[in-house]
Amino acid sequence: MPRPRRPAWLGFAVASLVTGAALAGKLLLARVVTRDEPVLLFFAAILVSAAYGGLGPGLLATLLGATLDGYFFMRPFNRWALDSADEAVRLGVFVIEGIFISWICARMKRARVDAEDSAEEARELEGQLLEISEAEQRRIGHDLHDGLGQQLTGISLMTRRLQETLESLAIPAAAEASKICDLAKGAIEWTRDLCRSLSPPSLERAGLADALRELLAHAEVIFHVQCHFEQHGDATGIPLAASAHLYRIAQEAISNAVRHGAAKQIRLELDASDEMLMKIMDDGAGVETTPARGNGLGLRIMQYRAQMIGATIQVNRRPEGGTIVTCRYRRPELNHANQHSNQQQRPVASLSR
323 phi, psi to nearest 5 deg: -130, 150
DSSP per position, 91-155: HHHHHHHHHHHHHHHHHHHHHHHHHHHHHHHHHHHHHHHHHHHHHHHHHHHHHIIIIIHHHHHHH
pLDDT higher than 80, residue 93: yes
The CA distance from 72 to 66, in Å, is 10
Q: Which amino acid is at 232?
A: H
pLDDT at 1 over 60: no
Using an 8 Å Cβ cutoff, are 311 and 284 in contact? Answer: no
Do 280 and 254 touch, CB atoms closer than 8 A? yes
Q: Are 53 and 15 in contact (CB under 8 A)?
A: yes
Mean pLDDT (the chain, rounded): 80
Interval 321-333 mean pLDDT: 84
The pLDDT of residue 249 is: 92
17, 53 Cβ separation under 8 angstroms: no
Nearest in space to 149 (alpha carbons), one of 98, 196, 82: 196
**Contact (CB, 8 A) for 15 and 49:** yes
pLDDT at 227: 94
Q: What is the arrangement of strands in the sheet containing 349-350, beginning at the earlier edge strand?
A: 312-317, 323-330, 275-282, 265-272, 226-233, 349-350
- Residue pair 20/43 in contact (Cβ under 8 Å)? The answer is no
Query: What does DSSP say about strands 226-233 and 265-272: parallel, antiparallel, or unpaired?
Result: parallel
Beta bridge partners of 328: 277, 312
- 3-state class of 274 per DSSP? coil
| Candidate ranges 31-40, 134-143, 268-277; pick with highest mean pLDDT | 268-277
118: phi > 0 → left, psi -120 to 50 → alpha, else beta; which? alpha
Closest CA to 350 of 262, 277, 268: 268
More confident call, 238 vs 204? 238
Q: What is the pLDDT of residues 103-132, one digit of tens each?
A: 998 899 888 888 888 888 877 777 677 777
- pLDDT tens digits, one per residue of 138-168: 677 767 767 777 788 888 888 888 888 888 8
Residue 279: the pLDDT is: 94
* Residue 353: predicted pLDDT: 33
Q: What is the percent of the chain where pLDDT is above 90?
A: 15
Q: How far apart are CA 162 and CA 139, in angstroms?
A: 33
Q: Tell me what pLDDT residue 348 has.
A: 39
Cα 20 from Cα 107, distance rounded (Å): 25
Element (H, E) at 270: strand 265-272
**DSSP assignment of 191-258:** HHHHHHHHS-HHHHHT-HHHHHHHHHHHHHHHH--EEEEEEEE--TT--HHHHHHHHHHHHHHHHHHH
Lowest-confidence region among 48-62, 110-124, 317-331? 110-124
Task: Give the pLDDT confidence of 272-319 residue by residue, as tens digits.
Answer: 876 789 999 999 887 665 555 545 677 888 888 888 888 999 999 888
